[in-house]
Amino acid sequence: MPSASQITERLDALYEFDREPVPDHKLLGPGNFIGVYTGEHVAGTEYVIGPLFVAHGVAAGDLILGLLLGNLLAVLSWAFIAAPLAVKTRLNLYWQLRKVAGPKLTFVYNMVNALMFCFLAGSMISVSATAVGLPFNMTMPGLNDTYPNSIGWVVVVLLVGSVVTTLAILGFEKLSYFGKIAAPWMFLVFVASALAVLPSLGVHSAGDFWRVANERIWTGVPEAGQTKFTFWHVVFFSWFCNMAMHIGLSDMTLLRYARKWQYGFLSAFGMYVGHFTAWIASGILCAAALRNFAPGPIAYLGAGVAGAICVLVAGWTTANPTLYRAGLALQTATPDWKRWKVTMAAGAITTIAALFPALMMKLLDFVALYGLILMPMGAIV
């Protein structure tokens, strides 16, 4: 069994070019980016955001057209803003910003950035926890819950958080490999589970779908206490929900490994497989589950054990690269620490945040705020 010093040496060797350009021999091909974008965006957030569109009373036509346009704007933002700069500098955003704006502004920005990433990753750990808790009959958080509602919830979140942190410590190549393996299967589970519950909603032929979509799923009537969403809400949310990553340039951290700037267009795999198909599929599942908003139970309803496992893995595939970004951002505050130590600290913050289900249930509000706060730094860089 390796000693503590041997383990530390191995972790120190996990170098990710934290403070220097990525060398040519470490650049990656398109498959890695298809994997990481699809894995990250066919993910735990999809099991939350799809149902929240249902809760906010989006009409079926507004949802479809709004997602088509908003996701196109997001792909173009990655392709023409984030990717060219990442390929030109080969630096992550945090060290490029330090060169442009100096250490003081960079420090403040990176602390805010890291905390936002920790909270987002924490919401994904919460998503995975709703799946892990199913076999134990754990009480699931409700739409308006803020604090942990059981000891079981706390234990499960701590367990999932430790696994996510370990994967983030292993680095980008491990994350992209995990995404490439998980993404195709997760997409199939999303689609299959939605198709499986359509008959219970009254869809018995292709001709029934649009009628049922308007009458039973995206009715245009919000849940009590929720704001009504329109076409423009959907467009701007689907564009802005990842604004920190494309216009805000956080994805320089990932795209600095790309051989060509055109790899930015590969974000379309995440947008149209995840932020289009998967959001629609999870909205259908929510309607079939009689407006149950906990991700684990609605996935289990559609695909049984496979659905529950999909929620677990989906939470990981978003939390892992998000926590990886948080660790890189925090390094500006701890320049003498190795990346694995910083990522471990970020993982602890993330796991504590995940204990509060409000992060998951208010994800639409949080993601919009997070994008608007972090986006302006893209203009500075």
Q: Which residues contact 10 (CB under 8 A, 6 or more apart)?
A: 2
Q: Which residues contact 182 (CB under 8 A, 6 or more apart)?
A: 39, 313, 314, 316, 317
pLDDT tens per residue, range 269-296: 999 998 999 999 989 988 887 666 677 7
Q: Is 225 inside a domain boundary?
A: yes
Domain span at residue 232?
A: 28-380
Domain containing residue 288: CATH number: 1.10.4160.10
| Domains in the chain, number | 1
For residues 109-118, average pLDDT: 82
What is the SS3 string spanning the chain?
CCCHHHHHHHHHCCCCCCCCCCCHHHCECHHHHHHHHHHHHCCHHHHHHHHHHHHCCCEHHHHHHHHHHHHHHHHHHHHHHHHHHHHHHCCCHHHHHHHHHCHHHHHHHHHHHHHHHHHHHHHHHHHHHHHHCHHHCCCCCCCCCCCCCCHHHHHHHHHHHHHHHHHHHCCHHHHHHHHHHHHHHHHHHHHHHHHHHHHHHCCCCHHHHHHHHHHHHCECCCCCCCCCCCHHHHHHHHHHCCCCCCCCCCCHHHHCCECCHHHHHHHHHHHHHHHHHHHHHHHHHHHHCCCCCCHHHHHHHHHHHHHHHHHHHHHHHHHHHHHHHHHHHHCCCCCCCCHHHHHHHHHHHHHHHHCCCHHHHCHHHHHHHHHHHHCHHHHHC
Q: Is 9 inside a domain boundary?
A: no
pLDDT tens per residue, range 25-39: 888 899 888 887 887
Q: How many CB atoms lie within 10 A of CB 208?
A: 14
Looking from the CA of 174 toward its CB, the CA atoms found within 13 Å total: 14
pLDDT of 16 reads 59
Q: Is 121 inside a domain boundary?
A: yes
Q: Is 322 inside a domain boundary?
A: yes
Q: Is 20 inside a domain boundary?
A: no
pLDDT of 265 reads 97
The pTM score is 0.79
Q: How many CB atoms lie within 10 A of CB 132?
A: 23
CA dihedral 66, 67, 72, 73 (to 10 degrees): 60
Q: Please give the structure tokens belonging to residue 353.
A: 């945040």
Q: Is 18 inside a domain boundary?
A: no
The answer to whether the beta carbons of residues 340 and 14 sit under 8 Å apart is: yes
Q: Is the pLDDT of residue 163 over 80?
A: yes
Higher-pLDDT residue of 54, 366: 54
Q: Is 3 inside a domain boundary?
A: no
Q: Is 97 inside a domain boundary?
A: yes
Q: How confident is the prediction for the chain on average, in pLDDT?
A: 82
